[in-house]
Structure 1
Amino acid sequence: MTDIAQRVDMHSHFYGGGLLETLMSRTERPYLRTREDGALMMVAMNGEFEFTDHYHDYRVGLNLMKASGLTHRLLTFPGALGVELLPANEIAEAISTYNSFLAQLTGETDGALIGLAGVPLADMDLACAEVIRIRRDLGLPGIILPSNYFNSLTEADALRPLLQAANEYGCHIMLHPGLKVDEDLPPRPADNVQYRLSAVELQSSASQIALTVILSDMLEEFPNITFQVVNLGGTLPFIFERIESIARHRSPDEPFPTDRLRRLWYDCASLGPRALEAAVQLYGADRLMLGSDYPIFKDDPYAHALVPANLSQADKEQIPWKTAHGLFTKLDALRQTKLHGS
């Protein structure tokens, strides 16, 4: 990525790179099946959806991306699918193959497609070794992790060895909705499932994980890790004043550290201009990035969220690419320093 103005989508997912064949061979969730009418269906943890070419053919997404004016896109391992939670002897090789494909894809697309890798979380030693390979050998910017590991400090502690390994070469980590290894699916809401799960509960979850990171010592213990919280940090831009009020009235000697929220990065995936305006007020534009959640959502985040937003021209120039550019520049510098021992 150069210093020339760009439009960078920092939140999308990719199910190709060999995963298609892996999922076709499975008979338990997650797996692919062919419907009677010939449509390919993904049987996922929370339901079933049609598995179109958008999910696994990077060329389809790349053409749509270029047509809308997006210049770069961050493809991520499909974290919410739960593939990385499977027994390592079943999935580690497939994940490694996928990660190598992502690195190859970056070169083949002249950097237009950038990748966040997956790691086999059921075997922590293998996961640690893979994150080192991802950064040291493949040069990918980082990994995606299931956010349920960050619902509390105790749960996050289970990933401490992985975070230590990620910190070695510098690593970008997207905290994305997803289960932990051996975690059961939560009970489904009694009604209006898509709205309660995919909007209300998801946004609340994003807020919880941001709190876990900023209210812990992770930012100090792992200074070479950059954490990305999806969907503008959930409900935080709308409830932080209540959080500050709670601290002011119930623990006046320990004010809520709102400023630490500015030490994370956020994308605007699947959200719009009003939410983006609130997020800029809380985090600052230099912590915000475009995000689409493609192929689940197909809106162009630049046209859909940024253009209609009531923001300054400087903010509208920062969010499309400058934040992401600064992030990748920092990560590359950390990696180069480690590689060359200086």
Structure 2
Amino acid sequence: MLADAHAHLLPRDYPADAPDCFPRMEAIDGDTARLLLFGAMRFRARDAFFDAERRVEEMAASGVDFEVLSPMPPLLRYDLPVADGLSLARHVNEFTATLCATDPARFAGLGMVPLRDPDVAAAELAAMRESGLAGVEVASNVLGASIGDERFLPFFAEAERLGMAVFVHAMPSATDRLPASAMGTYVVGLEGAMAAASMITGGTAAKCPGLRISFSHAAGGFGLMVPRAQYFWAGTWNEEAPVPERAIAHDGGPSPLEYARRFYYDSAVFDARALRYLVDLLGADRLLVGSDFPAMPREEPAGRTLRTLGLPEEDLADILWHNTFRYLGREAPPCPA
């Protein structure tokens, strides 16, 4: 059994009378794929993005039994006017809920919100839950502001109150320190680390202890960043007992690693050595399978590298199946036939 907690979808179409700032999906002659047009973006979206039957076929071919579906990240356009962003979110959310309802034993859906206005975003969560969505996807920054900034706390508090899962997808922000060619590689890793760190340093992790939140691509470089924060908090190496008189940032509260172990992280890190480190540092109960499918090809079969790590059977079963449902706040269902 395998659950993929990081997979994406795109609506097949958008309303004919939608504002000009909405995306468009156009047919491609002689192809089941469609062309996504969104601002400067031109993306060939193959049919698995929007066709539930095709998704199930491709899941079966890769050994995937369950997917958590979230909007393709470029749809998270926080630069749109709030009213337009809300209309776009509602359209995408309706499509997501409808697709997932075709086979609830195989799909759970995450919606989207115009997070540039945290109050509007928070107010939308109850309706999303009522429609059957299990949670919400947000970008790692909102127009350059870290998601751990206190202005976004009411949104995360409402997600916690409603029991909705939050998926943080790393999204590049403007930078002149690396070339544009690094936006999808190194910058995404930096963004994931900054987002996870900001949830701790901004106080959201402390104020929302029950929030179920996951980070794409294991929050980038966060796994190597947090031991340094742990050292400054404890004054000791190797997570040894803190010595407050030697610590620089000891506050008497949970340690950085304790906060980090409240989060979930997907396994799309592309290397067995990285996975071993994450299991050792954060725990097998914190990792989820993630693929970015169909925006990126899945490892074939899905979870192949995880299965080479020699993990105890219980730990492997947690990562491949049970952790996804704990993250969603659901009981793990029996594997579909």
2:103 to 97, 101, 109: 109
Q: Which residue of 1 aligns with 2:218?
A: 232
Letter in 2 for 1:130: E
Q: Which residue of 1 aligns with 2:10?
A: 15
* Residue 172, structure 1, aligned to residue 158, structure 2: no
How far the C-alpha of 1:9 sits from its partner, in A, is 0.3
Distance 2:184 2:85 in 1: 27
Letter in 2 for 1:197: M
When residues 153 and 121 of structure 1 are mapped into structure 2, their CA distance, relative to the original with a 3 A threshold, is closer
Extract unaligned runs of 5+ from structure 1: 1-5, 333-342
Q: Secondary structure at the match of 2:136?
A: strand
Q: Secondary structure at the match of 1:174?
A: strand
When residues 78 and 24 of structure 1 are mapped into structure 2, their CA distance, relative to the original with a 3 A threshold, is farther
Distance 1:150 1:285 in 2: 33
Q: Deviations over 1:8-35 (max 9, x none)?
A: 100011111x6x3259967668555678
* Paired residues of 2:116 and 2:142 also in contact (CA < 8 A): no
* Paired residues of 2:168 and 2:216 also in contact (CA < 8 A): yes
Distance 2:24 2:324 in 1: 33
Distance 1:330 1:174 in 2: 16
State which drifts further: 139-148 or 96-105: 96-105
* Residue 286, structure 1, aligned to residue 279, structure 2: no
Distance 2:319 2:144 in 1: 28
Percent identity between matched residues is: 23
1:217 to 188, 203, 208: 203
Q: Which residue of 1 aligns with 2:275?
A: 276
- TM-score normalised by the chain length of structure 2: 0.79
Distance 2:119 2:232 in 1: 41
Q: Which residue of 1 aligns with 2:311?
A: 311
- How many residue pairs get aligned? The number is 317
Distance 1:231 1:15 in 2: 20
RMSD: 3.5
Letter in 1 for 2:223: P
State which drifts further: 273-282 or 286-295: 273-282
State which drifts further: 64-73 or 165-174: 165-174
When residues 62 and 154 of structure 1 are mapped into structure 2, their CA distance, relative to the original with a 3 A threshold, is closer
Q: Secondary structure at the match of 1:144?
A: strand
Q: Within 5 A, what are the aligned runs for 1:43-82?
A: 43=37, 48-82=42-76
